[in-house]
Amino acid sequence: MDTYDLITRNAEEVVTDEEVRELAADPEGKRTYVGYEPSGVLHLGHLLTANKLIDLQEAGMEVVVLLADVHAYLNGKGTFEEIRETAEQMKAQFIAYGLDEESTEFVYGSEFQLDEEYTLDLHELELSTTMNRAQRAMAEIQGDETAKVSHLVYPLMQTLDIEYLDLDLAVGGLDQRKVHMLAREKLPEVDYEVRPALHTPIVADLTSGEGKMSSSEGITISMEDSTEDLAEKVNSAYCPPTRDPEPDEDGNERENPVLELFEYHVFPRFEEIVVERPEKYGGDLTYETYESLAADLESGELHPADAKGTLASYLDELIAPGREKLHELRE
Ligand code: IYR
């Protein structure tokens, strides 16, 4: 695959395309990152951006995983001690999932975000950013409860991380786009360069196909799921025989989450997908591309029940090493 295509595959948005093309022309040794508020168990949301990091590693880039302990603290996720402990578990699961231990740099936010220079730069940004602007940037991450002062500092720190980790590309889910837009606006104001950003899509809720799959509401798939849990969850998923379902009676947009999971989670990590079927139902089907699988689901050649069963077993293979790691850590 062409380097630009590898870097941007499954990206929902790149900002800007021109900047990313320039990066793709010479990616060797360039630095990219995703920041995660530490949590003890990885779920599919984490793995979607991790897949992108694996692509970028393959393209020759150096990958930094920011274990954003200070950010998690500012977002009310617990004491520093609790956050650090979950960060260690998170790191172990990322490695089990397939981020290369040798070439991935895991950095705690607190290793550099409490330094004097960083703090003074942060205060400069605080001085030049309105509360309204910072709150808008945070809306997607923090939700719509009343913002605390810590929630306004949060996106300004995320802005500075891009400079202090010396990055050439910032990666995040689409929910990070407002923070990255703030960074584009603010970094030049403190005499730092603007860097491009790449945003991964948000997968729809598994059972309704609406909105987004969320770890706080609805069903999510995580490293904690057993093979049986996975089969049950995927089996309950919304899977009409189309890539483009009609909105529901209330006009809410819907996606096909089973296809989304094949596209964003399964195909990037496997050369080919085999749907096992008894001879009397037509025998096994083999797919090398997402497109061919989606087309067969639409034509009726591939039954939704077979698609779900296959999805569950490939997801199981992907999370099995992390699940084992988690059990080991808890013993
Ligand atoms: N805002 C992220 C966590 C985070 C991401 C980056 I990129 C940072 O530099 C710092 C924090 C989240 O919502 O999980």
Tens digit of pLDDT for each residue in 82-113?
Answer: 999 999 999 999 999 999 888 899 999 999 99
Rounded Cα–Cα distance for residues 276 and 310 (Å): 8
Q: What are phi and psi of 285, to 5 degrees?
A: -120, 140
Ligand 1: residues whose CB is within 6 Å?
A: 34-37, 66, 68, 71, 141, 158, 161, 170, 172, 176
Residue 241 within a domain? yes
Give DSSP secondary structure letters for 275-297: E---GGGT--EEESSHHHHHHHH
CATH code, domain carrying 25? 3.40.50.620
The more confidently predicted of residues 273 and 330 is: 273
Q: What is the 12 CA–ligand 1 centroid distance (Å)?
A: 18
Estimate to the nearest angstrom the gap between the alpha carbon of 147 and the chain centroid.
24
Same domain, 195 and 231: no
Closest CA to 34 of 8, 54, 60: 54
pLDDT computed for residue 179 by the predictor? 98
Same domain, 123 and 241: no
Work out the burial of residue 10: count CB atoms within 10 Å of its CB; fewer than 13 is exposed, 13-18 middle, 19 or more buried: middle
Q: What is the 239 CA–ligand 1 centroid distance (Å)?
A: 32
pLDDT computed for residue 147 by the predictor? 86
Instruction: Judge whether residue 7 has pLDDT over 80.
Output: yes
Same domain, 19 and 108: yes
Same domain, 27 and 161: yes
Half-sphere exposure of 312 (CA within 13 A, CB side): 20
ipTM score of the complex? Answer: 0.96
Residue 187 within a domain? yes
Rounded Cα–Cα distance for residues 307 and 304 (Å): 5
Same domain, 193 and 239: no
Measured N-to-C along each axis, helices 149-164 and 131-142 cross at an angle, to the nearest 10 degrees, of 90
Predicted TM-score (pTM) of this structure: 0.96
Same domain, 162 and 233: no
Residue 206 within a domain? no
Q: What is the 267 CA–ligand 1 centroid distance (Å)?
A: 26
What does the block give as tokens for 166? 């010396």
Is 238 within any annotated ligand binding site? no
Same domain, 190 and 240: no
Per the structure, how many domains does the chain have?
A: 2
The 10s digit of each residue's pLDDT in 149-168 is 999 999 999 999 999 999 99
pLDDT computed for residue 9 by the predictor? 97
> Residue 298 sits in which domain range?
227-330
Same domain, 193 and 231: no
Same domain, 82 and 146: yes
Q: Which atom of ligand 1 is nearest to the CA of 176?
A: 1
Q: Which atom of ligand 1 is nearest to the CA of 155?
A: 1
pLDDT band at 136 (very low <50, low <70, confident <90, very high): very high
Identify the domain boundary among 152, 183, 200: 200
Residue 216 within a domain? no
pLDDT computed for residue 331 by the predictor? 87
Closest CA to 270 of 211, 222, 311: 311
